[in-house]
Amino acid sequence: MNTQSHKTAFPLDRLALGRNADAPALVTRSGTLSYKMLNHRVGKLAAWLKSRNLEQGARVASWLPKTEMACLMPLASVRAGLVHVPINPVLRPAQVRHIIDDSGAKLMVTNAGRSKTVENEPIEGCAVVEDRSLDEKLDQSGEILEANSPSCDTENLAAILYTSGSTGHPKGVMLSHANLSLGAISVAEYLKLATDDRTLCVLPLSFDYGQNQLLSTWYAGGCAVPLDYLTPRDVIKACARERITTLAAVPPLWVQLVEQEWPNDAVAAMRRLTNSGGALTPTLVKKLRAIFGSKTDIFAMYGLTEAFRSTYLDPALIDDNPTSMGKAIPFAEIMVVGDSGEVAAIGQEGELVHAGPLVAQGYWQDKERTAERFKPAPNASQYGGLAVWSGDTVRREADGLLYFIGRADNMIKSSGNRISPTEIEEAAVESGLIVEAVALGVPDERLGHAIKLLVRSDGPSDEVASQLATYLKRNLPNFMHPRDIIVMKEFPKNPNGKLDRNALAEAETL
């Protein structure tokens, strides 16, 4: 471990202390909280949680939209010595029950509507508290719990974030205070966040990328503006209304946003756009540049819930290298490891392995799956210890930039060729005929696997498929040509807003 890095880790709830007590920290429908009021409200909620007489390290869940209470829970839980389990508000009761059962949560804070969906079948061993009644209790209470001491053990568990679980049951990723606080420092540092920044938080707070929108902004002393939106226009209106400087999204949302008209007052204050959860295409980068101009930095990033975030691309390089993942973020060591277990040569493909203090503590109560993903770091690692072996195939070029090739379990093997679906998908989007694409390998007696390409377009299906096939034949080698092109009007998304590749694959193989 890099001990120097650990000197900067801190108890997560100390983010509420801020750098300027009177500066705005949080804007919700309930109003604006300064850092002084944020710390006060976190202290009140922590005192109430403490009064529940739960054992140290007990899990407490929140199943809420982006309310003030949802934003307070990550800090208040750890101030009370508990572990926070955020649940995506779009999940159904059956999925929520699995997360509660798996985590062993003793308490869940939710709103009246969601409370009604579980009241007929109470969740055994878990008390359900409605946020409105809890707000009233906090208003009436005079008790306040002070922040954790800086000397608090930052290796203590702070949160369990459940993956989206598109197939099978979602896994609970265990994150310590150090994981989350160093993640906040890292992102604030490379994004160059400042005290006058205002971050629009549109991603789910149960998503590591979404939660970090709050944490990195608060570390920098800026103001977080959570938003539950129904349409892309809602996002644009909020950017104008709140003078937003920082906007984070995943590719499917960017695709929708660039199709809209952006008035000048929604663009004027924007300093940076950040993307993760899938690659930006060259076409999408050009469209974003056309809307926001050169004054707005575009950050392409790659992340793993198991290690929070791994790489980012310097925005000065994105126009010339739009498909690159960039280089390691602060506190991350990123290696490209070949089949031999040694670091791959420049230009050679290998598995992305992430070592360092951002690596999570494993999967909650799942030693088998933990052992599959969290393994000893390669001998070449400077950090050592456990590393996350991502299962993603990447390569590093001579300039140090990394490029994503594909997930090992998604690679298509056809006619003896190992094909990255990403390469086909990027070529399809670059045609300008479609807006999104997913390439799948389907069994074929002669080829081993044939390529089926699913694309999203509002145009006439036969015409789009024919024109796209012609384009791909001109721009891809023969072994990458799709056997079938299926045009769809909509793609399924998982609860974090990413394309649900597994759902598409299952539907196409039934």
Task: Write the DSSP string, 358-413.
Answer: TS---BTT-HHHHHHHEEEPPTT-SS-SEEEEEEEEEEE-TTS-EEEEEETTT-EE
Instruction: Tell me, yes or no, whether 212 lies in a domain.
Output: no
pLDDT (average), residues 421-429 = 88
Helical segments of 389-487, H only: 421-430, 461-475
pLDDT value at residue 70: 97
pLDDT value at residue 164: 61
**Do 168 and 243 lie in a common domain?**
no
Q: Is the pLDDT of residue 168 over 70?
A: no
pLDDT value at residue 508: 65
Query: Where is mean pLDDT largest: 51-60, 120-129, 501-510?
Result: 51-60
**Do 7 and 90 lie in a common domain?**
yes
**Do 67 and 144 lie in a common domain?**
yes
**Cα within 13 Å of Cα(149), Cβ side:** 3
Q: Rounded to a whole number, what is the largest CA-CA distance in the chain?
A: 74
In Å, what is the CA distance from 176 to each residue of 74, 235, 359? 12, 32, 9
pLDDT value at residue 122: 72
**In contact, 125 and 456? CB cutoff 8 Å:** no
pLDDT value at residue 166: 39
Please name the amino acid found at residue 226.
P
- Percentage of residues in the chain with pLDDT exceeding 90? 75
Beta-strand relationship, 198-201 and 324-328:
unpaired
DSSP 493: B
Across-strand partners of 454? Answer: 438, 486
pLDDT value at residue 3: 33
pLDDT (average), residues 339-346 = 94
Average pLDDT over all residues of the chain = 92
Instruction: Tell me, yes or no, whether 194 lies in a domain.
Output: no
The helix (H) or strand (E) run that includes residue 27 is strand 24-28
pLDDT confidence bin for 281, thresholds 50/70/90: confident
Measured CA to CA, the distance from residue 227 to residue 163 in angstroms comes to 21
**In contact, 63 and 89? CB cutoff 8 Å:** yes
Comparing CA positions, the residue from 426, 425, 424, 389 lying closest to residue 408 is: 389
pLDDT value at residue 1: 32
Measured CA to CA, the distance from residue 332 to residue 337 in angstroms comes to 15
Instruction: Tell me, yes or no, whether 209 lies in a domain.
Output: no
pLDDT confidence bin for 419, thresholds 50/70/90: confident
Beta-strand relationship, 246-249 and 198-201:
parallel
Write out pLDDT tens, residues 306-331: 998 999 999 999 999 998 999 999 99
CA-angle at 391, arms to 92 and 95, nearest 5°: 10
DSSP 329: P
Instruction: Tell me, yes or no, whether 221 lies in a domain.
Output: no
pLDDT (average), residues 341-349 = 95
pLDDT confidence bin for 500, thresholds 50/70/90: confident
Q: Which CATH number fits the domain that encloses residue 110? A: 3.40.50.12780
pLDDT confidence bin for 407, thresholds 50/70/90: confident
**Do 360 and 414 lie in a common domain?**
no
Measured CA to CA, the distance from residue 324 to residue 314 in angstroms comes to 10
Of the listed ranges 40-44, 114-118, 162-166, 471-475, the least confidently predicted one is 162-166
Instruction: Tell me, yes or no, whether 222 lies in a domain.
Output: no
pLDDT (average), residues 47-64 = 97
**Do 364 and 417 lie in a common domain?**
no
**In contact, 446 and 507? CB cutoff 8 Å:** no
pLDDT value at residue 252: 83
Q: Is the pLDDT of residue 88 over 70?
A: yes
Write out pLDDT tens, residues 97-110: 989 999 999 999 99
Q: Is the pLDDT of residue 169 over 90?
A: no
- Percentage of residues in the chain with pLDDT exceeding 70? 96
Q: Which CATH number fits the domain that encloses residue 501? A: 3.30.300.30
Write out pLDDT tens, residues 349-398: 999 999 999 999 999 999 999 999 999 999 999 999 999 999 999 999 99
Q: Is the pLDDT of residue 171 over 70?
A: yes
pLDDT value at residue 415: 66
**Structural domain count of the chain:** 3
Question: Which residues are within 8 A (CB) of 230 and not within 5 positions of it... i.e. 6 or more apart?
Answer: none
Hey, what are 27's tokens?
Answer: 């804007």
Give the distance from CA 306 to its chain's centroid: 11
**Do 418 and 358 lie in a common domain?**
no
**Do 4 and 120 lie in a common domain?**
yes
Cα radius of gyration (the chain): 23
Choose between 445 and 128: higher pLDDT: 128
pLDDT value at residue 426: 87
pLDDT value at residue 167: 42
**Do 393 and 418 lie in a common domain?**
no
Q: Is the pLDDT of residue 165 over 50?
A: no
Write out pLDDT tens, residues 204-258: 999 999 999 999 999 999 999 999 999 999 999 999 999 999 999 988 899 899 9
In what side-by-side order are the strands of the sheet with 436-444? Answer: 436-444, 448-456, 484-488
Choose between 15 and 426: higher pLDDT: 15
Q: Is the pLDDT of residue 134 over 70?
A: yes
Handedness of CA 5, 10, 11, 17 (dihedral sign): negative
- Residue finishing a domain among 362, 380, 408: 408
pLDDT confidence bin for 416, thresholds 50/70/90: low
Helix and strand totals (H; E) in the chain: 16, 25
Comparing CA positions, the residue from 337, 361, 359, 360 lying closest to residue 348 is: 337
Question: Which residues are within 8 A (CB) of 315 and not within 5 positions of it... i.e. 6 or more apart?
Answer: 272, 297, 298, 299
pTM, two decimals, is: 0.85
**Do 287 and 419 lie in a common domain?**
no
- Domain span at residue 252? 229-408
pLDDT value at residue 242: 98
Measured CA to CA, the distance from residue 436 to residue 499 in angstroms comes to 9
- Residue finishing a domain among 377, 408, 439: 408
Measured CA to CA, the distance from residue 496 to residue 278 in angstroms comes to 12
Instruction: Tell me, yes or no, whether 309 lies in a domain.
Output: yes
Write out pLDDT tens, residues 172-190: 999 999 999 999 999 999 9
* Total residues found in the chain within this entry: 510
Hey, what are 332's tokens?
Answer: 């991350």
**In contact, 445 and 462? CB cutoff 8 Å:** no
Instruction: Tell me, yes or no, whether 496 lies in a domain.
Output: yes
Choose between 384 and 508: higher pLDDT: 384
**Do 2 and 131 lie in a common domain?**
yes
Measured CA to CA, the distance from residue 138 to residue 143 in angstroms comes to 9
Measured CA to CA, the distance from residue 495 to residue 89 in angstroms comes to 9
In Å, what is the CA distance from 470 to each residue of 15, 35, 426, 480? 54, 58, 15, 13
Measured CA to CA, the distance from residue 448 to residue 446 in angstroms comes to 6
pLDDT value at residue 278: 79
**Do 401 and 424 lie in a common domain?**
no
**Do 140 and 177 lie in a common domain?**
yes
pLDDT confidence bin for 510, thresholds 50/70/90: very low
Instruction: Tell me, yes or no, whether 197 lies in a domain.
Output: no
The contacts found for 422-426 with CB under 8 angstroms, 24 or more apart, are 422/279, 423/476, 423/480, 424/451, 424/453, 424/472, 424/476, 424/480, 424/482, 425/453, 426/279, 426/281, 426/282, 426/323
- Residue finishing a domain among 189, 212, 239: 189
